[in-house]
Amino acid sequence: MQRRLIERYESRTPESKRLFDAARKVIPGGVEGSMKHYSPYPLTFSRASGALLQDADGHEYVDYLLSFGALMLGHGHPAVVEAARRVFADYGTSAFGLASPVEVQLAEVVHELYPSVEELRFTNSGLEATLLAVRLGIAASGRDVVAKFEGHYHGGHEQVLLSVSPDPRRAGPAARPSPVPASLGLPEYFAEHTVVLPFNDYDACEAILIAERDRVGVVVMEPMEAGYVPADPVFLRRLRDLTARLGMVLVFDEVKTGFRVRLGGAQEYYGVQADLTALGKILGGGLPIGAVGGRREILELASPLRTGGAVFHSGTFNGNPLSVCAGLATLKILRGPGVFDGVLQATERLRERIEELGQAAGFAVRTVGVGAVFDVLFTEGDVTDYRSRSAADKERRLTLDFLLMERGIFSKPLNRFSLSTVHTGEILARTEEAFAQSFTELREMEAAR
Ligand SMILES: Cc1ncc(COP(=O)(O)O)c(C=O)c1O
């Protein structure tokens, strides 16, 4: 990106830089996770309210990161604050360690919204949810190789930390991708026990899965790649049938798409049911949570009541009342008449405006997504999988993101845009104005080169 824009960023955000430098002394890279970094240093935020964020230097932003999509009611929604307060008022604690009366209620709500979820277990994160889903799938199928899709992210555990964002030149043929480790420190075992599939290419998936039918027990996927690239409905249905025929457990990782694409996730949108579903993010109403649910006979493998051994799963904070009650409060609001549809309509309208404004400034730009999430891609080609996604112009998008930040719009550079119930009226108008100005400046910068 242009040096001038970086300098403008640095001169606007000295306090974020100071806090980043201090953090780097005690925290690797100054961040609590690989995905929380961007160059030259990420903003530090000190306050948030509704749809707005404030950084450590006092600048205000409309938040489209929304804690990586977790905050469907925006920041500090009164119903969530009240739910958290009531947990202490009613129970006198944030955690019993064992059961509380409320986790069953949230399990029942999830079951109503996701009929494929006959039983479920809560975890503390999406990562833990997909980890348990894979373990259950291996136990249920009796086969220990996992098939995952190129470019799909399921949290940072070994079995799925392959081919998350590989360099396409190092990732083998498009129809037969090879597993590329996404981290140092991954034992060879995992590349040897992972098969990588190409999204939206049914014939290639069928050929790979039939060839590997004696080894692969679990197929895990984001039903919308990266949370926003739709599966072709026929592809998804045929994959569902194929995995059933081959005795493979199909896992939909709906940590991103759950309660965001539709209230009932991508599976509601497509009318296709997985054997197991991983959930997280919005389910906890802004507090840490995850869940794995699905077919009863698979979930029952984790029951300690089972004779002859069980799938191990436990966690100090699993089902803690703070996360569960924040989740219940959030879902109650989202299920209110017109509420979720309102977010869908706002997203639709914003996407149209962004495309109009970008095209008016002369860019081949498109928004891709379903429901209350989308990405902005500078590309002329169709976006259907990891490789077509990778062909979009990232440099231009990065520049746009820094121009938007200067005008008070934040999604984290190169990240998706998520909306919430509080992204309405003035917030959207402000966003459109910022996009209009940013596209214009982007055009001028490119013309001046
Ligand atoms: C599809 C998907 N699965 C799993 C995860 C991991 O969830 P968590 O960050 O809560 O561990 C994420 C996180 O972004 C995700 O997007």
CATH number at residue 317: 3.40.640.10
**Could you tell me if 369 and 276 lie in one domain?**
no
| pLDDT, tens digit (0-9, with 9 covering 90-100), for 40-53 | 999 999 999 999 99
Is-catalytic flag, 281? yes
**Domain finish residue from 278, 299, 334:** 334
pLDDT at 2: 80
> Which among 9, 64, 114, 153 is annotated as catalytic?
153
Please tell me whether residues 303 and 389 are part of one structural domain.
Answer: no
Q: Which one of 297, 314, 334 terminates a domain?
A: 334
Residue 246 shares a structural domain with residue 322:
yes
128, pLDDT greater than 70: yes
Q: In the annotation, is 153 catalytic?
A: yes
Q: Which of 240, 173, 232, 160 is closest to 204 using CA atoms?
A: 173
Same domain, 243 and 376: no
Q: What's the gap between Cα 210 and its chain centre?
A: 30
Asked whether the predicted pLDDT for residue 1 surpasses 70, the reply is no
Residue 127: closest CA among 148, 149, 158: 158
Cα separations (Å) of 219 from 274, 294, 296? 10, 14, 18
Report the alpha-carbon distance of residue 160 to residue 395 in Å, rounded.
28
Residue 56: give its domain's CATH number: 3.90.1150.10
Q: How far is the CA of 24 from the centre of ligand 1 (A)?
A: 25
Q: Is residue 171 located within the same domain as residue 199?
A: yes
pLDDT digits 0-9 by tens, 199-221: 999 999 999 999 999 999 999 99
Number of domains forming the structure of the chain: 2
Residues with CB under 6 A from ligand 1: 68, 125-127, 130, 153-155, 222, 227, 253, 255-256, 280, 290
Q: Is the dihedral of CA 387, 392, 397, 399 positive or negative?
A: positive
Q: What is the pLDDT of residue 21?
A: 98
Asked if 277 and 398 sit in the same domain, the reply is: no
Q: Do you find a cis peptide bond into 288, omega within 30 degrees of 0?
A: no
When the pLDDT of each residue in the chain is averaged and rounded to a whole number, the result is 97
Same domain, 125 and 148: yes
Residues 33 and 110 in one domain: no
DSSP for 52-101, written as a single string: EEEETTS-EEEESSHHHHT-TT-BT-HHHHHHHHHHHHHHSSS--SS--T
Tell me how far apart the alpha carbons of residues 311 and 313 are, in angstroms, rounded to a whole number.
6
User: Domain residues for 324?
Assistant: 78-334
Domain boundary among 307, 334, 361: 334
Are 154 and 251 found together in one domain?
yes
407, 366: one domain: yes
Residues 65 and 90 in one domain: no
Pair 328, 278 in one domain: yes
**Of 71, 255, 279, which is best to mutate to test ligand 1, by the most ligand atoms within 8 angstroms of its C-beta?**
255
Report the separation in Å between the CA atom of 279 and the middle of ligand 1, taken as the mean of its atom positions: 9
Q: What is the mean pLDDT of residues 343-349?
A: 98
pLDDT single digits (tens) 359-418: 999 999 999 999 999 999 999 999 999 999 999 999 999 999 999 999 999 999 999 999
> pTM for this structure?
0.98
pLDDT digits (tens, 9 = 90+) for 20-78: 999 999 999 999 999 999 999 999 999 999 999 999 999 999 999 999 999 999 999 99
